[in-house]
Amino acid sequence: MAFQNSLLYRAVRRRGCLVLKCLLVLTIVAYVGLSCLDYALYAGNKPGAAPPPCSETDEYRAILMDLAYKTHLILDNLGVEHWLMYGSLWGPLRGIHEPLPWDFDVDYGINGSSGIFQKMTWEEFKAKLSEAGVRVFDKLKSTGSLTLRPKSSGANVDIYLYYDRGGYMMRSGYEPWLLCIHYLLYHRFPSRLVQKPLPKVKFGHFNVSVPREGIEIMKYLYRFNWWKVVKPVGCE
């Protein structure tokens, strides 16, 4: 009887170990697969979020560009070098001196390795932004970013903080560590692309810096479709 119980115990244990191994493999496969997706809202891969409209209203775009200009002036006055990032670059790269019709925000990148934050604390930086009469949402600890919104509108400007890590600009926060594959694929680019001085382009009614070498940065931020025009789902 003891012999049979021992055999049964070993069989159950082996099956349990096999199940755990299968679950571990499935978890790793799911993690890698999900990390490889582009979660830009217009790409339709964001769970529970509807893609943006095919074009924003003139009123919304006017509010958005006013906020982008105010943010640009504040950063300039503080001596914080900044440049257009992510989807906000597509308009100028395609000869449109404003965001694409379906773009609902403006993205700026700033260099945390430049030394500016050795002279000014992060709290002081946020306070200066708040003085412009906007709401400031601090996501530094999670995604290394700030979101600015007018008090009367849902338009927003995102500021992303980058650090030079061995010749590559990378975001700060715990999310880039937890989702390291995703951030390596879509949020990392060579630091040479944002070395001073940066070229400038017309964006709305003002001029703003952009990364060097034209479309080169998009090969790192949108590495699987940088050569395509990706519109929101349903706008083809």
Give me the mean pLDDT over the 167-171 stretch.
95
Distance CA 76, CA 66 (A): 15
Distance CA 75, CA 79 (A): 6
More confident residue, 29 or 131: 131
In this prediction, residue 6 carries a pLDDT of 64
pLDDT at 3 over 50: no
CA distances from 51 to 43, 103, 148 (A): 7, 11, 21
In this prediction, residue 197 carries a pLDDT of 94
CA distances from 128 to 70, 109, 121, 124, 173 (A): 12, 17, 11, 6, 22
Torsions phi, psi for 189 (to 5 deg): -155, 160
CA distances from 188 to 33, 50, 130 (A): 19, 26, 29
Give me the mean pLDDT over the 193-201 stretch.
95
Selection from 43, 47, 55, 58 nearest residue 229 by Cα: 43
pTM of the model: 0.84
Distance CA 129, CA 109 (A): 15
Count the Cβ atoms, other than its own, within 10 Å of residue 43.
Answer: 16
Peptide bond into 53 cis (omega under 30): no
Q: Which domains does the chain have, with CATH numbers?
A: 53-221 (3.30.460)
pLDDT by residue (tens digit) across 43-99? 555 566 676 778 888 899 999 999 999 999 999 998 899 999 999 999 999 999 999
Count the Cβ atoms, other than its own, within 10 Å of residue 172.
Answer: 19
Residue 108, token pair as written in the block: 């700026």
In this prediction, residue 65 carries a pLDDT of 95
pLDDT at 34 over 70: no
